[in-house]
Amino acid sequence: MSILIVDDSFFNRKLVETFLIKSGYSDILHAESATEAYRQLKNQLPDAPIDLILLDIIMPEIDGIEACGHIKQMHMFKDIPIIMVTAKDESQFLQSAFDAGAIDYITKPVNPTILKARVRSALTLKKEMDRRKAREQDLIDIGAKIQKTLLLGQLPETFPGLEISAFTQASQTIDGDFYDFFCHKDQCLDIFLGDVMGKGVPAALVGAATKANFYRTITQLISEHHIHAMPDVEQIVQHVHEVMSNELIDLETFITLCYARFHAGDQSVELVDCGHTQTIHFHAIQQKCSFIKGENTPLGFIPDEIYQKTKFFLLPGDILFLYSDGFTEACSPEGTFFGEQRLVECIQNHSTEKPSELIKKIHDQVKHFTQTNQLGDDLTCVVLKRTFEKSSPSVLTIKSALSDLQIVRQFISDYCQSIDIGPNPQQFIWQLETATIELISNVIKYAYMGEDHHGIEIHVHTDETRIRLTVYHWGNPFPHPPINPKPPKDKYSEGGYGLFIIDNYIDTCEYSQDGNCRNSIVLIKKWLIS
């Protein structure tokens, strides 16, 4: 084992070296100043590290106390034991030396028996510290394997309307970050990202158990209800919470989680937030970010918690950023958190990038901010980006309630903005929205007589020149519309304007009814003249 003697006196260094050699230590290094000691520490070979420093207190330029404090502040050398060498009349400095990180001291003139005992004790301590670090590294390696095999899901290769990427960087300790994906054909994609309170292998195992419970819950709910569609997101989260809450309380831990579902049909997102970091939604049109935060508590926090979902839409170019608090709590050397605002600014500045490139930009900025690769917490995120590709047929189902009309308006706007509809898209979208809202309002009022619990389906499809929007309902059929409707003569008369609006804003309107009493009303609007 290598021992470094730091003393400005050549005679003292040689005397101590002689005593050490007689005690069986042969790998002895010398430094005549603190500066020389720093250089030797930095240049030490990996297979011959310095295991102990004998450091004189009184030296010119940089004394032993200052040198001790500086060495202990350097991460690579902080575990090297330091024994101070002091004259008897320098004992008043010993408390300062211990405060700086020294573990022991030897007085001058050096007694060979005392030197041997103190060195043996310090090297035994260093050997045990090295063993402990090796065990910790083994745990880190185990944790990395657990994360890779049990905690991190496999990205779907493709999904209609989305670009997807995910990233995780393990910290120096083992954490409980996890994520996964569920694809239900090409209809919807479920994503969940969670973080178990605590660290170490126990947190990682709880994360793995949580993922397994989500798999089991989805399978069970589909089997019990004999359905082919995915169960509701809040139903899935509620079931997992009820299964795990008592166990989590017994373990004195909980899980923050974000569960989101993207619907390919209407490009909507349903999200259940369980006390997790605020999901960031980048809005491409406004070039701004908003936060999506629910009111629910983490899994296992309150046994009788009832989970609620939030619904919103992803427009073309929009980004959804799900992440763990390792990003926002990454710390600078000065002790400042990276925070939400820096994260938002980075997303806005690189919003045109693909999700994988966006993640790289954010990661680079976090590394630059912290000035280290050794973070205190895992960095985990999933990024969804709505594509600008031409839309395939889309479907929206609503209730016959006037409160759902805003959902219809958003659905039409989202769909139209995902395709090329000519030189004046805003006017086109506004006219189609207005005509559709007028039509559905009449379906609610007359076909369903104002009852708000019936179903209405909206199907939209495009070809090279037009949008074809079909409204299906199962209420009273409409009479065939008049040809070339005109606005009513009485300015304030009820009714009449709807047909006039549809006739002026829509190129073709078609009515029909099939054998299942399903009424269909087709609106066709062209953006190019064929």
**How open is the CA angle 245-250-254, to the nearest 5 degrees?**
50
Q: List Cβ neighbours of 320 (8 Å cut-off, separation of 6 or more).
A: 260, 269, 279, 280, 281, 282, 314, 383, 384, 385
What is the rounded distance in angstroms from the CA atom of residue 253 to the CA atom of residue 167? 25
What is the average per-residue pLDDT within 386-401? 76
Say whether pLDDT at 158 is over 60: yes
Asked which of 170-179, 232-241, 388-397 is least confident by mean pLDDT, the reply is 388-397
What is the average per-residue pLDDT within 134-161? 75
Answer whether the bond into residue 423 is a cis peptide, omega within 30°.
no
What is the average per-residue pLDDT within 387-415? 82
Q: What percent of the chain has pLDDT over 90?
A: 48
157 against 514, higher pLDDT: 157
Asked which of 16-25, 54-63, 65-74, 385-394 is least confident by mean pLDDT, the reply is 385-394
Asked which of 92-101, 425-434, 480-489 is least confident by mean pLDDT, the reply is 480-489
pLDDT at 492: 40
Instruction: Yes or no: say if 71 and 58 are a contact pair by the CB < 8 Å rule.
Output: no
* Position 456 in a domain: yes
pLDDT (tens digit per residue) in 341-367:
999 999 999 999 999 999 999 999 999
Average predicted confidence (pLDDT) for the chain: 86
Instruction: Yes or no: say if 391 and 201 are a contact pair by the CB < 8 Å rule.
Output: no
pLDDT at 353: 94
CB atoms within 10 A of CB 339: 14
**How open is the CA angle 151-154-157, to the nearest 5 degrees?**
165
pLDDT at 186: 79
Closest CA to 13 of 21, 1, 25, 5: 5
* Position 336 in a domain: yes
Based on the fold, state whether residues 253 and 350 are members of the same structural domain.
yes
Q: Greatest CA separation found in the chain?
A: 118
* Position 146 in a domain: no
C-alpha distance from residue 170 to each of 308, 326, 346, 440 (Å): 31, 10, 21, 52
In terms of residue numbers, what domain contains 440? Answer: 394-526
Based on the fold, state whether residues 6 and 107 are members of the same structural domain.
yes
Q: How far apart are the first and last CA of the chain?
A: 87
What is the average per-residue pLDDT within 15-22? 92
* Position 147 in a domain: no
pLDDT (tens digit per residue) in 263-285:
887 778 999 999 999 999 999 87
Based on the fold, state whether residues 503 and 454 are members of the same structural domain.
yes
Beta bridge partners of 178: 194
What is the average per-residue pLDDT within 143-149? 65
Instruction: Yes or no: say if 399 and 455 are a contact pair by the CB < 8 Å rule.
Output: yes
107 against 486, higher pLDDT: 107
Q: List Cβ neighbours of 199 (8 Å cut-off, separation of 6 or more).
A: 173, 174, 175, 176
| The two three-digit tokens of residue 109, written as one number | 């003139």
pLDDT at 260: 96
pLDDT (tens digit per residue) in 444-498:
999 999 999 898 999 998 876 788 899 999 998 876 555 555 555 554 444 557 7
Closest CA to 454 of 519, 511, 526: 519
Based on the fold, state whether residues 336 and 403 are members of the same structural domain.
no
For 340, counting Cβ atoms within 10 Å of its Cβ (0-12 exposed, 13-18 middle, 19+ buried), the class is middle
Based on the fold, state whether residues 206 and 351 are members of the same structural domain.
yes
Closest CA to 31 of 79, 96, 82: 82
pLDDT at 391: 47
Based on the fold, state whether residues 330 and 409 are members of the same structural domain.
no
506 against 1, higher pLDDT: 506
Say whether pLDDT at 225 is over 80: no
Based on the fold, state whether residues 123 and 156 are members of the same structural domain.
no
Chain-centroid distance of CA 296 in Å reads: 18
Based on the fold, state whether residues 336 and 460 are members of the same structural domain.
no
* Position 424 in a domain: yes
| The two three-digit tokens of residue 89, written as one number | 């009349």
The phi, psi pair for 53, rounded to 5°, reads -120, 125
Based on the fold, state whether residues 268 and 406 are members of the same structural domain.
no
pLDDT at 393: 57
> 237-244: long-range contacts (C-beta < 8 A, 24 or more apart)?
237/272, 237/274, 237/299, 237/307, 238/306, 238/307, 240/210, 240/213, 240/214, 240/299, 241/274, 241/299, 241/300, 241/305, 241/307, 243/213, 243/217, 244/209, 244/210, 244/213, 244/299, 244/300
* Position 114 in a domain: yes
Q: Give the CATH number, domain containing residue 66.
A: 3.40.50.2300
175 against 172, higher pLDDT: 175
Read off the pLDDT band of 185 (50, 70, 90).
Answer: confident
| Backbone region of residue 275 per phi and psi (left: phi > 0; alpha: psi in -120 to 50; beta: other values) | left
pLDDT at 493: 46
Read off the pLDDT band of 184 (50, 70, 90).
Answer: confident
Task: Please name the helix (run of DSSP H) or strand (run of DSSP E) that holds residue 499, with its range, or none.
Answer: helix 497-505
What is the rounded distance in angstroms from the CA atom of residue 277 to the CA atom of residue 255? 12
Task: Please name the helix (run of DSSP H) or strand (run of DSSP E) that holds residue 22, with its range, or none.
Answer: helix 10-22
